[in-house]
Structure 1
């Protein structure tokens, strides 16, 4: 099979139908969340297993039909849509080791931490669905660097921001950026693009844009691309615009996070229809407020039993 960048413009498998070769022994199973498979001989490292059994079943079938044997799983971060498929794989392959960055591994072992951190207390039933609460799996800790997992050697890159810790995966000329980068359609569909640390997310985008020798890049959500710099630029502009929208909301008058969320949603034409969307988008606004506070562009005070964010005083002419 020719590598992806040599086949650009040709007909390709529909998302989820099979493994698509990127280059250098690295494949992608495209879907709502992309899974990447890195191979060495017949051994396969499965990177991100999707939201649930449906995606994981497709992933396992595609890997086995391609003649590879799963030897390990790497979850780039602990969001449920990237590790929810672990349970199905471990049910079929109980000795399969699972790896993740340290803090993310803790959440994967104890998934209740995800909705608990978003809600701030024991989460109600409405925040315990599969999008926020995946089944637990026994993740081991792995750090950035050149690592051999399940007999497959990869370069792991620190790309925090979307999650507190997150890893991108590189093999030669192929890069899986995980959710450090999003495709254009994903950014358009979710203008309040989730991040735990917007400043760190921006730094990770810039670090990926500076990589050399990358022929094909895969975002966590979206299509592979041969133009990493263009994709990174699109994400950088999107993040800066979102920071600006949050700042505009603050400059409209001192308000709480929840009040600012309403203003931001109005500016972006976002309609939230469920509790999960509210807590996720509230987290996005909070992340950008933290960045703006650190830059001295907004203020924070407690008044009338409320946590309020306001515009910083301007100095000079």
Structure 2
């Protein structure tokens, strides 16, 4: 029995902390969509291909977060001829992964921010086709732009199967991580809502979580989680003007989140910043510099 689970005709996935999608080309080959965090996940992915007598024909990374392309390097050692595709900007970060912790920290990151969770091995990525019907690694698929969680991200649809990547999270992931990661909270909400309008989707695979038959229900759960964070950030600002780090502490207190490492702090700080930008653009909060500090305050 294969370690890969079926989702539809010629469509499989490797379940894990991050899901990987396997799309058959009908000729004994398969396109790999997201390769997981590390060598261990990549090894399981290749083992699953062997069990189904499939050979990889290419790699598509939906976005540049380390847990979605960390397995690239291991697979490329075995199959150096494979091409790696990713959306614009995401391809640059996959090629130069140090850009991810630099973006989160704002400078050359300390050693504590150079773990595999924030700094994957580099792999040479090139631009994926633009959104729409495309052919990658001999496989026909539809690429759907779902920016928000990352600067740019693609969901992938093949027939009745939708791989939402991190535009949607499963219920357990939402419960485990109340501060749903995003770089643009407004765009993340828009992307989720657009996916809900898709017709003919029989099963949806989130980047983190189990396959779901109820796409509108999954979208509703994600939108509710995102709005909960927006509400928590708004409430934190209304406790009195403060900088991002103080607001992060208030939000964590409000949502019952405990951070124990530097990686969690910079990731959650980015989430709070994303929602602050959304609230700024709505005119609900303001910002100013006072006492050499950038602070946010509630607008009347």
TM-score in same-fold range (> 0.5): yes
Aligned to 1:233: 220
Match of 1:201 in 2: 188
Indicate if the aligned counterparts of 1:50 and 1:82 stay in contact, CA closer than 8 A. yes
> Deviation per CA, 1:201-231, whole angstroms, max 9, x where unpaired?
0000000000000000000000001100100
SS across alignment from 1:270 = coil
Cα distance in 1 for residues equivalent to 2:273 and 2:22: 34
Q: Check whether the contact 1:106–1:139 (CA below 8 A) recurs between aligned residues.
A: yes
Aligned twin of 1:58: 44
Q: Over the residues paired in the alignment, what is the CA RMSD in angstroms?
A: 0.9
2:123 corresponds in structure 1 to 137
**Consecutive unaligned residues in structure 2, runs of 5 or more:** none
Q: CA deviation at 1:28?
A: 1.0
Tell me the equivalent position of 2:3: 18
Separation of aligned partners in 1, 2:38 and 2:257: 26
Q: Return the alpha-carbon distance in structure 1 between the equivalents of residues 11 and 167 of structure 2.
A: 19
2:103 aligns with: 117
Distance, in Å, in 1 between the alignment partners of 2:49 and 2:23 is 10
Alignment check: 8 A CA contact 1:38 1:152 kept: yes
Which residue matches 1:165?
152
Shift of 1:150: 1.0
Aligned partners of 1:304, 1:44: CA distance in 2, in Å? 58
In 2, Cα distance between the equivalents of 1:18 and 1:124?
Answer: 38
Following the alignment from structure 2 to structure 1, what is the Cα–Cα distance between the partners of residues 205 and 224? Answer: 19
Count of matched residue positions in the alignment of Structure 1 and Structure 2: 298
Q: CA deviation at 1:24?
A: 3.3
Match of 1:268 in 2: 255
Return the alpha-carbon distance in structure 1 between the equivalents of residues 204 and 222 of structure 2: 14
Distance 2:244 2:62 in 1: 29
Which residue is equivalent to 2:17? 32
Matches within 5 A, 1:68-217: 68-142=54-128, 143-217=130-204
Matched, 1:301 2:293: no
Q: SS of 2:59's equivalent?
A: strand
Report the secondary structure of 2:89's partner residue.
helix
1:4-49, CA deviations, whole angstroms, 9 ceiling, x for partnerless residues? Answer: xxxxxxxxx8xxx711111132111100000001112112000000
- Separation (CA, whole Å) in 2 of partners of 1:110 and 1:182: 26
Q: Would the aligned equivalents of 1:33 and 1:81 in 2 still touch at CA under 8 Å?
A: yes
Kept in 2, the 8 Å contact 1:161–1:199? The answer is yes
Partner SS for 1:214: coil
> Residue 285 of structure 1: CA displacement?
0.1
* Range that drifts further, 228-237 or 140-149: 140-149
Q: Secondary structure at the match of 1:179?
A: strand
Q: Report the Cα distance in structure 2 between the residues aligned to 1:25 and 1:247, rounded to whole angstroms.
A: 46
Moved over 2 A (4+): none
Query: CA separation in 1, counterparts of 2:45 and 2:189?
Result: 31
- SS state of the match for residue 154, structure 1? strand
